[in-house]
């Protein structure tokens, strides 16, 4: 379960092509979302939280009013894996981007 391999540089570059708005920062998949207001931001976080808990894969994130800053990394693997890419895609889907 926790043995998902870290993505290679090439795999990461390929994944980023499918994730507009996402970058790599400090070895983590990184994106800032800006919502209309706090309610929209926190509502989205609540929906993402359900997905994260169900898949036992959790984001590092901070919220300031309508802005949510996200960093995704697989702690058990010590790097970015397909699980982070999958969660990033779910986040985008739920944000409607």
Q: Which residues bind ligand H2B (CB under 6 A)?
A: 56-58, 74-76
| Residues 6+ away with beta carbon under 8 Å from 22 | 16, 29, 30, 31, 88
Choose between 33 and 57: whose C-beta lies nearer to ligand H2B: 57
Give residue 68's Cα distance to chain centre.
11
In the complex, minimum distance from the CB of residue 14 to ligand H2B, in angstroms, rounded to a whole number: 21
Choose between 66 and 77: whose C-beta lies nearer to ligand H2B: 77
In the complex, minimum distance from the CB of residue 74 to ligand H2B, in angstroms, rounded to a whole number: 5
Measured CA to CA in angstroms, residue 1 lies from 17, 26, 27, 46, 50 at distances of: 26, 24, 21, 24, 19
In the complex, minimum distance from the CB of residue 37 to ligand H2B, in angstroms, rounded to a whole number: 27
Choose between 34 and 75: whose C-beta lies nearer to ligand H2B: 75
DSSP 65: T
């Amino acid at each position: 379960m926790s043995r998902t391999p870290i993505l290679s540089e090439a795999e990461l570059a390929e994944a980023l092509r499918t994730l507009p708005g996402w970058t790599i920062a400090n070895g983590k998949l990184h994106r800032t979302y800006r919502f209309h207001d706090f309610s929209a931001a926190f509502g989205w976080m609540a929906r993402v939280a359900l997905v994260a808990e169900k898949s036992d894969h959790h984001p590092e994130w901070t919220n300031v009013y309508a802005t949510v800053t996200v960093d995704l990394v697989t702690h058990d693997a010590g790097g970015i894996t397909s699980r982070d890419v999958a969660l990033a895609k779910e986040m985008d889907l739920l944000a409607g981007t």
